[in-house]
A and B are shown apart, each in its own frame.
Chain A
């Protein structure tokens, strides 16, 4: 079983749907420890992505093309840090794939590319209460699943689940990176909004494959 361009398009549409559904929740999480724009920014960004997809005359040829469209659109429409961070994630994920179909190890390469892009752009390490705290366990879980022979859909399911646990674990962390780090200890007892949106987006990827 492999994933093709239809999966990538489905992932994007489900991502837009889920960030729209969770817009208020993300705004509230970000309002507590940031500047409160994460939900609105992602909603605006993914709405723009689906509009661009709808406007295409010819459907995208491969997964990489879809991811690149997401990357450039998010970068130019999301005003906060999430724009360049997710934008770079999709950009590097596109570079890591580019082929028409993905097997389980191809899915891992895509996720690793995304994490590598986020770390390269944001310079955050695990434990600093950022989206890296969701992406890192997600990639680890994906590697383990692929190595044990799981299908691409099961690899994405494992990644989404681990991202959720990672997001949950950011609640007790004290932020040392990003806008929340200005709050110091007051950032504790709140979930990181970027980790939460990571979970939502990876959950959408698993749903699109299921």
Chain B
């Protein structure tokens, strides 16, 4: 947990304030990730800057690191692609553009990166963020229907949400980051416990009962840590 994440994020927006705000938001949930804003034109106006994106990518990939790029509107995508077309192929090979909603993708990718995930996993996390809020059926309902086999080495636990605000962004990020550190596949009410967005989408508020199921070598430890964290109330009154 002390090592800095392996994958950095570059957040490209037409607006400097929007890019910097997204860095701030994602950074609160993923303090170990290098997040670089590349927003607005060079004179601070609305638009995207080739030079700013180029500089951000150079910083993000320095020392052989890799980076996922998130973009907002059309020309941000086009400019980022152009930077990559003209970039050193060695640098370009360590960069991936994510087709993802800007804010949700940034948060999801940052939390995944903070757990030490590799480039492909961080990229996939950003791209999965788009579908996370689509559709009307809740993950909880889907999960409840397919109860996994009881004797397959699945460790279970239940815990009631205590903090007044429930699993909003900050606690969801705390839990996702924590669970990503265990060698176990963890589901919370059927949702992926390592995904901050999946946890948020549960909409679990105070008094809500959560069922946690884990498989893998550290399943017991993961379930215990989860129950303890939720009972702890995340420092809220």
| A-contacting 9-mer, from B20-28, B72-80, B208-216, B224-232 | B72-80
A38–B73 Cα distance when bound, in Å, is 16
- Min CB–CB distance A11 → chain B (angstroms): 21
Interface residues of chain B: helix, strand, loop or mixed (majority) = helix
Number of inter-chain CB pairs below 8 Å: 54
Q: Given contacts A37-B47, A91-B85, are A75 and B79 in contact (CB under 8 A)?
A: yes
Q: Count chain B residues whose beta carbon lies closer than 8 angstroms to a beta carbon of A.
A: 19
> Which of A37, A72, A85 contacts B78, CB < 8 Å?
A85
Q: Given contacts A75-B86, A79-B41, are A179 and B81 in contact (CB under 8 A)?
A: no
Residue of B nearest to A81 (CB): B75
Tell me, yes or no, whether A152 is within 8 Å of chain B by CB: no
Contact A179 B73 (CB under 8 A): yes
Tell me, yes or no, whether A2 is within 8 Å of chain B by CB: no
Contact A35 B46 (CB under 8 A): yes
Contact A80 B50 (CB under 8 A): no
Q: Given contacts A35-B46, A76-B50, A91-B85, are A81 and B41 in contact (CB under 8 A)?
A: no
> Which of B46, B47, B54, B82 contacts A88, CB < 8 Å?
B82
Contact B74 A81 (CB under 8 A): yes
- Min CB–CB distance A128 → chain B (angstroms): 12
Q: Given contacts A75-B86, A80-B75, A179-B73, are A121 and B47 in contact (CB under 8 A)?
A: no
Tell me, yes or no, whether A84 is within 8 Å of chain B by CB: yes
Find the residue from A72, A81, A121 having the highest chain B CB count within 10 A. A81
Tell me, yes or no, whether A193 is within 8 Å of chain B by CB: no
A12–B215 Cα distance when bound, in Å, is 64
Chain A contact residues (Cβ within 8 angstroms of B): what range? Answer: 20 to 34
A76–B54 Cα distance when bound, in Å, is 10
Contact A178 B81 (CB under 8 A): no
- Min CB–CB distance A187 → chain B (angstroms): 14
Residues on A close to B: CB < 8 A? 35, 37, 41, 72, 75-77, 79-85, 87-88, 91, 121-122, 178-179
Residues on B close to A: CB < 8 A? 41, 45-51, 54, 73-75, 78-79, 81-83, 85-86
Closest 10 A/B residue pairs (Cβ): A79-B47, A81-B75, A84-B78, A84-B82, A76-B50, A79-B41, A75-B50, A84-B79, A80-B75, A75-B82
